[in-house]
Amino acid sequence: METDKLLQMEVRVVNIGLREFARDLERCNVPVVHLDWSPPAVINPRISELLAKLGG
Amino acid sequence: MTVPTSGDAIAAANREALRRILASEPVLVDVRLAKDAIPQLPDRTILHAGPPIGWDRMCGPMRGAVAGAIVFEGWAPDLEAASRLAASGEIRFEPNHHYDAVGPMTGMTTRNMAVLVVENRAFGNRAFCTVNEGIGNVMRFGGNDREVIDRLKWMAAVAGPALGAAIRNRDGVPLKPLIARGLAMGDEMHMRNAACSSLILRELAGDLADTATRDLGRILRFVAGNDMFFLNVAMAMAKATVAPAHGIAHSTVVTTMARNGTDFGIRVSGTGDRWFTGPAQPAKGLLFAGFTEADANPDIGDSCITETVGLGGFAMAASPAVVGFIGAGTLADAIGYTRSMREITLGTNTDWALPTLDMMGVPTAIDIRKVLATGLLPVINTAIANRLPGRGQIGAGVVHPPLACFEQALVAFADMNGAN
């Protein structure tokens, strides 16, 4: 698709990461699918393991 | 074999921590000398900002302030003798937080200083913070000359008692609604307190006029001439608000963030009174004309207790004025900061609504797990102190705690909860 035509069509959004961006679009009645994801901020594997156990 | 604490138990503990923060009813009830307000504060003891630290590791402003506090208390005749005394080990240093107190920048609190007393009427606990000295040559930036000492003595002997009498005369000043109004007027309660400083003076002026026995004009000018007067009130308020959420088993909520100019320390509800520390970071922001980053002291002060209850950097969206002052970009950036803090907190405080975010409540109750999972560190608005004692503020900016504090806290929490 030519990018200059992208916003001339109906915008369908997949939001990846910060949920607030999806909420903003929802408030504006823009259909959005939110993917709850964040980059692997925790480089320390020990911390990753503990987070997996302790939830959050 | 220890059964690991379940995610449900952590969630329940965190809900309780958030509930207590939101249910708090902080009221400014008095100004008294520290020795009367905090009777357990020993003689020849200096309370300081941040986690525990000894004289040998203290930064320049902290050392300058300590020397000044010793002269103020009369424990040494001059600054040189005071520094020798501080280095001798005969003065006890402890964090303000160990006494339910907080203090901005160097955070000096000693027995004969005037402290604001905030009572959390929902839980019955009290918290304390010294009265803000004003701007320029002040002890919180390490100032320690005769001007600084004389001002502190006047605050202890005249202004403090007068403010205390005025506050008692009207049965205290409820702070939650005052701060709600301040947020709508552009304060974020850390680096901008212009609105709330004015509002509280308006609250107290009549009572001051009724009760002050001397220096009424000077007291009114002292408060009116200082846009940061309310910072110390907000700090005691924040400490009184978050204290009931401390010590809840299985809770991962941050109940203390504080810096001593060398180390940044946090404490977490479910890990008790243990500090988790890392190196204090340089703030990024705007320096006043003539200063460079080489002049700046690393992050210092207990004032980020405001961020632990959703104010300061967490409420930056409320304060277009502060965004420029601290070099944080545009209002859109400020709104972004506040939104991003929602990602690391458990809820919002709808009593403190943000007009620029469609009246969303301020993000409240930092969860160490969310910080580590997202990599989003708490945003703290802060003053930048000259690294030389007594030279005052040289700028303002944004700073973060080191990630190491949160990593240590999670490991300790896991140990305590059978997850290691």
Retrieve residue A34's tokens: 């939110």
The Cα B343–Cα B378 span in angstroms is 10
Residue A6 reports pLDDT greater than 80: no
What's the pLDDT score for residue B1?
47
Look up the ipTM and state it: 0.87
Closest CA–CA distance from residue A53 to any residue of chain B (Å): 7
In B, which residues are within 8 Å of A41 by CB distance? 372-376
Q: What's this model's pTM, rounded to 2 decimal places? A: 0.92
Q: What is the dihedral of CA B313, B317, B319, B323, to 10 degrees?
A: 70
Chains A–B, number of C-beta pairs less than 8 Å apart: 60
Answer whether A55 touches B (CB < 8 Å): yes
User: Does the distance separating the beta carbons of B369 and A55 come in below 8 Å?
Assistant: yes
CB nearest A18 (choices: B10, B343, B370):
B343
Residue B78 reports pLDDT greater than 90: yes
Mean pLDDT of A14-38: 84
User: Does the distance separating the beta carbons of A44 and B342 come in below 8 Å?
Assistant: no
What's the pLDDT score for residue B3?
65
Q: Which stretch of A2-16, B77-91, B122-136 has the lowest confidence by average pLDDT?
A: A2-16
Retrieve residue A8's tokens: 């001339």
Mean pLDDT of B315-328: 88
Please report, for residues A38, A41, B22, B33, B386, the alpha-carbon distance to residue B370 in angstroms, rounded to integers and kept in the order given: 11, 11, 19, 40, 33
Interface of B with A in 216-255 (CB under 8 A): 252
The Cα B37–Cα B125 span in angstroms is 12
Answer whether A53 touches B (CB < 8 Å): yes
Answer whether A17 touches B (CB < 8 Å): no
Answer whether A42 touches B (CB < 8 Å): yes
In A, which residues are within 8 Å of B375 by CB distance? 38-39, 41-42
What's the pLDDT score for residue B352?
98
User: Does the distance separating the beta carbons of B369 and A51 come in below 8 Å?
Assistant: yes
Angle between helices B194-211 and B160-169 (to 10 degrees): 80
**Which of B410, B415, B417 has the highest number of chain A CBs within 10 A, making it the mutation to test binding with A?**
B410
Contact B377, B371 (CB under 8 A): yes
Q: Which stretch of A13-17, A49-53, B82-86 has the lowest confidence by average pLDDT?
A: A13-17
Answer whether B420 touches A (CB < 8 Å): yes
What's the pLDDT score for residue B2?
57
Residue A38 reports pLDDT greater than 70: no
Contact B191, B320 (CB under 8 A): no
User: Does the distance separating the beta carbons of B7 and A20 come in below 8 Å?
Assistant: no
Closest CA–CA distance from residue B389 to any residue of chain A (Å): 38
Answer whether B414 touches A (CB < 8 Å): yes
The Cα B277–Cα B410 span in angstroms is 12
Which sign does the torsion angle of CA B107, B30, B266, B111 carry? positive
Answer whether B3 touches A (CB < 8 Å): no
Q: Please list, in sequence order, all residues whose beta carbon lies within 8 angstroms of the beta carbon of residue B60, skipping any fewer than 6 positions away.
A: B142, B297, B387, B388, B389
Answer whether A46 touches B (CB < 8 Å): yes
Answer whether B339 touches A (CB < 8 Å): yes
Residues B390-413 have pLDDT tens digits of 788 899 999 999 999 999 999 999
**Which of A23, A27, A53, A54 has the highest number of chain B CBs within 10 A, making it the mutation to test binding with B?**
A54
Residues B156-209 have pLDDT tens digits of 999 999 999 999 999 999 999 999 999 999 999 999 999 999 999 999 999 999
Residues B348-361 have pLDDT tens digits of 999 999 999 999 99
In A, which residues are within 8 Å of B367 by CB distance? 56
The residue of chain B with its CA nearest to that of A41 is B375
User: Does the distance separating the beta carbons of A38 and B375 come in below 8 Å?
Assistant: yes
**Which of A42, A43, A46 has the highest number of chain B CBs within 10 A, making it the mutation to test binding with B?**
A42
